[in-house]
A and B are shown apart, each in its own frame.
Chain A
Amino acid sequence: MTPSALAQAVGDLQMDEAASLVKERLDAGDEALAVLAELQGGMSIVGDRFEAGEYYLSELIFAGEIFKRASAPLQDAIAAAAGSAVGTIVLGTVKNDIHEFGKNIAGTVLSSNGIRVIDLGVDVDPKAWVDAINESGATLVGMSALLTTVFDQMKEAVATIEAAGLRDKVTILIGGGPMTEEAARYVGADHYCETAQDGVVVAKHILGVS
């Protein structure tokens, strides 16, 4: 299917064009949710190009900002869409690690792909994961870290989720600089995501959406 002009503008990283097309569409009386869906379609193009090696992290960051700015007039629609999100992920950087960039870019690309993100921030206490899962009903958990020294904190967070009886209800994704498949096995996570876009692919697969 040929993408709309708006989706194409986001996919082509045309920031001003995307913002003006959103305005045009809203001025013409189009449904905000429909416009939001096209913006998300644009982010799918970005994701496809990232996976194809045409775009890199730099383009993911820029696209995330384009989405954020272009969707600014759609806040009510976004709030409404939260109830119909394809799924919910609890996201954060684990205890004793204050690095937030990787976590933030993951949050941006996940949310712009229609997944509700509960962002716990950095230096997240193990129990906070449990509370957030219980409160949000999330079926996905995304743990980020940049330090090898926090492998054990990540393992503890997973164990705390398990001790709370929630392990079977959530799929746990991990990512960040030193993370590997081996680290995922060590901490007891389900998936290692090498990039933020990997997280989107895995999350969508688990949620059963294309």
Chain B
Amino acid sequence: MAEQQGPPPNPLFLERMGRLQTAIHCGTPDRVPISLVMDTFACNVMGVKYSEFCADLDVSGQTILGALEKLGDVDSVQWASYAPAILGMVWLSPMKLPGRDLPEDALWQLDEQVRIQPEDYDRIVQMGWGPWFGQYIGRYLGEAAAAGAAMQEKAPRWVGEFMGRGTVVFSAGTVDHPYEHLCGGRTIQEFTMDLFTRPDKVEAAMQAIMAEKREQTRQMIRAIGPFGYWIGSWRTAPQFLSPKLWDRFVWPYMKELVEIVAEEGAIPMLHYDACWDREIERLLELPARTCVLATDGQTDLFRAKKILGGHMCLMGDVPPAMLTLGSVDEVKAYCDRLLTEVGPDGYIMAMGCAMPPNAKFENVKAMVDSVQGR
């Protein structure tokens, strides 16, 4: 996070960056920092159609910036602008987008179908990940690749816009687990079956992916800079897999990817959805005082603090249902508990996962304001 692109940092940016850096290294800042992920919530705040947000990165950047300014003193956002079509590159599936495939006010959704066939495991091993993936992109993911290229082109300008206003843009890219790729292209049902019926084929393909991903990850970080990098866990959460499967197909790759990002001097942002309670102790195996664990409300973050405190910065986890259905008093009470029990050292206030589109503005504002003086 040390070298953001754009104009020279202003004092407010430096103050907020210092606050975040202290928290990430498990120290106690002058107050607890806050970092948000906003997309469709920002649309609703600013009166922007989801379809317009999805179609134009400048619209998305302007929308997020506008919503941020309405919320007040926010140290950081995870992303300055966003093109949802790019999610196709994580789960190897095209996205259904509002205004085109879905109503204008509908949330984008993954169009998950069986696109990877069982014989593709062998093909990935034989061809290598890059050539196989290149073919696959040509067949299914042209739009996702174009969204990725557009983000590469336009995101730096928006990072600069935020930085100029004193806001730290935390994330520069994603480092995706091979499991998420294959599971998305194969579907959860079929991929889970493969774990039982052809585990060696799956493992060989995952190793072939990793063989290239190691160097690709290093090169990406060296090219973009040592920002935060999302290493997400969605389908790989321990909640979904038995320990035997998880130990074989998830953790070794996850651990190595985190170590690579850390070795390159960047911050591994462990964006872990679903419940990680069963394996939370395993995170002690990851580099100390370098990672940020961001959970979505399903992992017991209070217990996680007892186990990981001093080893890893924690972030989150005001639950989506509370932000959408709860009252301001409920949000305040939950935030107070987070600040007291998970903070103030090594902690970043945040929503669980990303801001729900229909979160009540007053609830989000209560969460933002909760860190003042804490």
State the A residues within 8 Å of B (CB).
13, 15, 54-59, 61-62, 65, 96-99, 101, 104, 147-149, 151, 177-180, 182-183, 186
Contacts and interface: CB of A to CB of B under 8 A. Distances in A.
A151 B358 contact: yes
A147 B96 CA distance: 14
Given A151-B325, A151-B358, A178 B320 contact: yes
B91 to A, nearest CB: 12
A15 B194 CA distance: 13
Contact of B107 (A61, A101, A149, A186): A149
Interface stretch (B11-19, B161-169, B239-247, B253-261): B239-247
17 contacts: A15-B197, A56-B240, A57-B240, A58-B192, A58-B195, A58-B240, A61-B189, A61-B192, A96-B106, A98-B96, A101-B112, A101-B187, A148-B356, A149-B107, A151-B358, A182-B326, A183-B321
Contacts of A97: 109
A54 B320 CA distance: 29
Contact of A56 (B241, B319, B325, B326): B241
Contacts of A55: 242
B53 to A, nearest CB: 14
Contacts of A58: 192, 195-196, 240-242, 245
Interface in B293-329: 319-322, 324-326
Contacts of B196: 13, 15, 58, 62
B107 A57 contact: no
B188 interface: yes
B128 interface: no
B242 A148 contact: no
Contacts, number: 73
A56 B321 contact: no
A144 B107 CA distance: 16
Contacts of A178: 320-321, 356
B99 to A, nearest CB: 14
Nearest to A195: B239
Nearest to B356: A148
Contacts of A13: 196
A188 to B, nearest CB: 13
Interface in B102-126: 103, 106-107, 109, 112
Interface centre among A13, A177, A178, A179 (most CB of B within 10 A): A178
B146 interface: no
B127 interface: no
Interface string B182-203: 0000011100110111000000
A70 to B, nearest CB: 14
Return the 6 tightest CB-CB contacts between A and B, nearest first: A148-B356, A61-B192, A57-B240, A180-B321, A56-B242, A58-B241
Contact of A101 (B188, B195, B357): B188
A151 B193 contact: no
B116 to A, nearest CB: 16
Interface string B350-367: 000000111000000000
Contacts of A149: 40, 106-107, 356-358
Nearest to B193: A65
B320 A148 contact: yes
A182 B334 CA distance: 15
Contacts of B274: 177
A61 B195 CA distance: 11
A61 B40 CA distance: 32
Given A13-B196, A56-B240, A62-B196, A180 B109 contact: no
A96 B112 CA distance: 16
Given A15-B196, A148-B358, 18 more contacts: A13-B196, A54-B242, A58-B195, A58-B242, A61-B188, A61-B189, A61-B193, A96-B106, A101-B189, A104-B189, A148-B321, A149-B356, A149-B357, A151-B324, A178-B321, A180-B319, A182-B326, A183-B321
A101 B357 CA distance: 22
A107 B357 CA distance: 29
A63 to B, nearest CB: 10
Nearest to A147: B107
Contacts of B107: 147, 149
Contacts of B357: 148-149
Contacts of A182: 321-322, 325-326
Contacts of B240: 56-58
Nearest to A102: B188
A90 B193 CA distance: 26
Nearest to A59: B242
Contact of A57 (B197, B239, B320, B325): B239
A185 to B, nearest CB: 9
A49 to B, nearest CB: 10
Contacts of A151: 324-325, 358
